[in-house]
Amino acid sequence: MSKKQNIVFWCVAIVILTLYNLTPPIDSFDTPYYLLAGENFWHGRIDCLRTPVYPLLLKCSSELFGYKGMAVVLTILQSLLYIISLVSLKRISEKAIKNSYLRFALLLFYVICIAPGWCNELLTESLSISGMIIMVDCILSYIEQSKINCIIFIHLMLLFLVFLRPTFIIFFAILPMVWIYQLFHFKQYIHNSIALILTIACIICFTGYCKSFQREYGLFGSTSTLVFNKIYDAKRGGYWDVKAIQTIESREWIEQFDGTSYSNYSDVYSLINNHPEALPHINKGCDDMISAHKFDFYRYRAQLLASSFDKRFLAAVNTETTLSSVLFLTTLFLSFPLSLFYLFTIIVTIFLFIHTLKQKKINPTLSLLTIIILAHTLGVILTASDAFERVLLPVYPLFLVLIGISLEKAELIIKQ
């Protein structure tokens, strides 16, 4: 990127970020549960629905600066990490895309919409997007030149991310693949052995948290989100059937919120919060419903995936003011549907597989980006209950880089 392009990029990035931060935050359904989770963690109790990083950030900020100050502090923190992530994204794109004009266009497209729109929201999306970019940049830097400080930072980021959002456990499988690749290709036994040991230590740490969650709620895991999703899916998918529950205890617990709306988390949250012993029975009751209505369950999951095709990656901005309305229309115009995202990811995955077989050589950058996007997307498709366009946001910037790589390779093929 030339000096002139660099100046334009940073000016546009900061101006757009400032404009988004001047818009009123959206009234999110999830924010109150992060605040409640913060109270639980602050008083030494594991929350049933949220992992600790974001709730504790909210709680610490509110204790130091009050509730109004908390929103300002989180906006500043998320904006700073967003700016840092732009430095990382530039580094990733420089490694992946040789054409400076294409790279500049994609980076400019990224900062104009979507990602900066989440910086003033009390949700995990902004930190997830920024964290993913910084993590990938660190991994690629390590592949380029292995250093101990890079290994340490990668694992600190790993712990931050998995306790921010459990979907980041994909790195528990991806990182060992990176260390093994480095071990066989560059014979750096000491550095890669340390990296592998630290990854195992992070897995043990996360497993320990899951065991603590199990002691509190009777179910192994880091959150009960999957159980909440089972309830949501069964009620919205039309296979909610209390009569299908096989155990009396499970039926008795589920009957306490049987008549509530599928979108009402509060009754279920309060029940599990006040009666932790109910969670495994509720989970068992939901599993009984799924077993009794397997066809309806799989049909609903297929419909859920199909319904996401026309949804778009959007910024978190409403239409309450003139400024927010303009930004909303801009992000709507510049966004693209998830169907394009799915199709492009499948095509690139097939290309990568065929290319690797033919060349008998792995492209580290392309392979890492594709594997992360694919793993994250599959995880969302299999476990998410709704809002795929939000849960997939962390891989959105990586997808733009993947588009750049693909366009560059397509140009080379055409010229040949």
Q: Could you write out the DSSP letters of every residue in 340-391?
A: HHHHHHHHHHHHHHHHHHHH----HHHHHHHHHHHHHHHHHHHH--S-HHHH
Q: The tokens of 209 are what?
A: 């948290």
Mean pLDDT by 10 residues, the chain (416 residues): 88 94 83 93 95 96 91 94 97 92 93 89 94 97 90 97 96 95 80 93 97 96 93 91 93 84 74 93 95 94 92 83 87 88 90 80 88 94 88 94 88 72
Confidence at residue 261, expressed as pLDDT on a 0 to 100 scale: 57
The DSSP line for 17-68 is HHHHHTSPPP--SSHHHHHHHHHHHHTT---SS--SHHHHHHHHHHHHHHHH
Residue-wise pLDDT for 99-144, tens only, equals 999 999 999 999 998 888 899 899 999 999 999 999 999 999 999 8
Confidence at residue 260, expressed as pLDDT on a 0 to 100 scale: 64
Q: What angle do CA 405, 407, 410 make, to 5 degrees?
A: 110
Residue-wise pLDDT for 290-336, tens only, equals 999 999 999 999 999 999 999 998 888 877 888 888 888 888 888 88
Q: The tokens of 109 are what?
A: 């497209």
Confidence at residue 210, expressed as pLDDT on a 0 to 100 scale: 97
Q: What is the DSSP letter of 167?
A: G
Confidence at residue 332, expressed as pLDDT on a 0 to 100 scale: 85
Confidence at residue 65, expressed as pLDDT on a 0 to 100 scale: 93
- How far apart, in Å, do the first and last CA atoms of the chain sit? 26
Confidence at residue 416, expressed as pLDDT on a 0 to 100 scale: 66
